[in-house]
Amino acid sequence: MTTFNDITVINRGNRPSPISPCKLDFIWIKDGSYQNPFQVCSVHVFPNTQFGSPNPYVNLTAGDANYGLVSSTATNYIFHNYKRTGGTGARIGFDANMSAMAAEGTYTGGNSASAIYKTSTGNFSVILQPGAEYFPMGADATNWLPVSANSASATGDYLDIWTLVDVEGSRAQIYVNSFKLNSASVMAITEPLMVSPTNKLIQRYVEVGSKEKLRVKTELVVDSKPISESLRNLLETGSLLSDPQMRIVKLNESPELTSRVMIQDFSDTAGSIQLDSHNMISYLWDTQSIVPKYTDDSLGSSRGVYEITVKYKILTETFYSPKFKLIVR
């Protein structure tokens, strides 16, 4: 599981269910870098009925101005952002521009349809809310009542179709992804759950000046004996981790330098850590500008040995990984 504005949500790869908020991410990479398109027009969610093909929901009328886009007759669950009077007042229409993208801090959960959120350059998310309603494209500007219910409300395979405009004046295009809503991961056990995690830092060396994701792989072993093998496998491959954080410390041997220089403490990285569906914890670290957290510490050269530690929760327990050594050279 992960959090979005401190509210628990389930990533598309972490066995989401129809009764939990499902976070659908979309990452835009152009010419080898994260970039923002000119517009993110809408996100539609449809049942996956033809092995991943979006054809049942796409306008395939040759010569039509909207050929290749989501058909106007396809009215399943829709996300888009709103144009408002004065920027923050009443809804008066839809706005696909980057300036209208909602910030993560505006997400409050509940049963209202979520917007399209821009979390960083080229990174966008929508939250599929259980029981939420949404405003269709033809909503009356004077009567903004959510009239259509979430159609992705049962277990099964789904498509999320994102409609984007790359640059101003270009034609809109669709991008098709898939996800699955599973039976809720609800379980009952007769004894407290005992889990043993193991951690491994993927990198050993990082070149100074580089900007890389430090990755720590976490594997779980369920030690509780009465749990059935099928449930054990589900627990070990599912995501029990939450609240991942990382600490980075520079180690100096010279007596003229601070022996342990705090670069990033756990609380400093808490909002920037990524946790994927395979329990890989990652943090994007820029080694071009390594600065001590505390100004009275003496860092010395940016090159040297660093100590990497991750911290995370599994249910009511808090775990710390071993202290891994990383060489910046």
pLDDT in tens, 18-70: 878 888 999 999 988 899 999 998 888 888 888 888 998 898 988 888 889 88
Strands (E), 166-273: 173-181, 195-201, 205-206, 211-222, 241-251, 260-264
What are the domain boundaries of the chain?
2-181, 195-328
Cα dihedral angle (257, 258, 259, 263), rounded to 10 degrees?
A: -120
Look at 129-143, 171-185, 236-250 and tell me which has the smallest mean pLDDT: 129-143
Q: Name the residue among 86, 122, 85, 74 with its Cα closest to residue 101.
A: 122
Mean pLDDT throughout 81-99? 70
Length of the chain: 329
What percentage of the chain exceeds 70 in pLDDT? Answer: 81
pLDDT at residue 21 in the model: 86
What are the distances in angstroms from CA 2 to CA 13, 102, 182, 274, 328? 11, 19, 17, 9, 30
Compute the mean pLDDT over every residue in the chain, rounded to the nearest whole number. 83
Cα 327 from Cα 54, distance rounded (Å): 47
Residue 237 reports pLDDT greater than 60: no
pLDDT at residue 285 in the model: 94
Cα 181 from Cα 17, distance rounded (Å): 5
Task: State the Rg of the chain over Cα.
Answer: 23
Cα 130 from Cα 9, distance rounded (Å): 11
Tokens of 251: 């180690």
Q: What is the DSSP letter of 172?
A: P
198 CB-contact burial (10 Å; exposed 0-12 / middle 13-18 / buried 19+): exposed
CATH for 195-328 (2.60.120.560, 3.40.50.300, 2.60.40.10, 1.50.10.10):
2.60.40.10
Cα 212 from Cα 287, distance rounded (Å): 8
Q: How many CB atoms lie within 10 A of CB 145?
A: 8
Residue 169 reports pLDDT greater than 80: yes
Q: How confident is the model at residue 258 (pLDDT cuts 50, 70, 90)?
A: very high
What are the distances in angstroms from CA 89 to CA 82, 85, 86, 138, 141? 10, 5, 6, 20, 13
User: Which residue did the predictor score with more confidence, 297 or 93?
Assistant: 297
Tokens of 158: 């789904």
Q: How confident is the model at residue 122 (pLDDT cuts 50, 70, 90)?
A: very high
CB 1 within 8 A of CB 242: yes
Runs of H (alpha helix) within the chain? 229-237, 266-269
Q: How confident is the model at residue 76 (pLDDT cuts 50, 70, 90)?
A: low
pLDDT at residue 225 in the model: 74
pLDDT at residue 205 in the model: 95
Cα 310 from Cα 318, distance rounded (Å): 11
Mean pLDDT throughout 288-311? 94
CB 244 within 8 A of CB 310: yes
Look at 25-39, 105-119, 128-142, 297-311 and tell me which has the smallest mean pLDDT: 128-142
Residue 201 reports pLDDT greater than 80: yes
Task: For residue 15, give the 3-state DSSP assignment.
Answer: coil
pLDDT at residue 156 in the model: 85
Look at 58-62, 213-217, 241-245, 291-295 and tell me which has the smallest mean pLDDT: 241-245
Residue 81 reports pLDDT greater than 70: yes
pLDDT at residue 134 in the model: 67
pLDDT at residue 299 in the model: 93
Residue 154 reports pLDDT greater than 70: yes
Cα 164 from Cα 172, distance rounded (Å): 5
Residue 197 reports pLDDT greater than 60: yes
What percentage of the chain exceeds 90 in pLDDT? Answer: 38
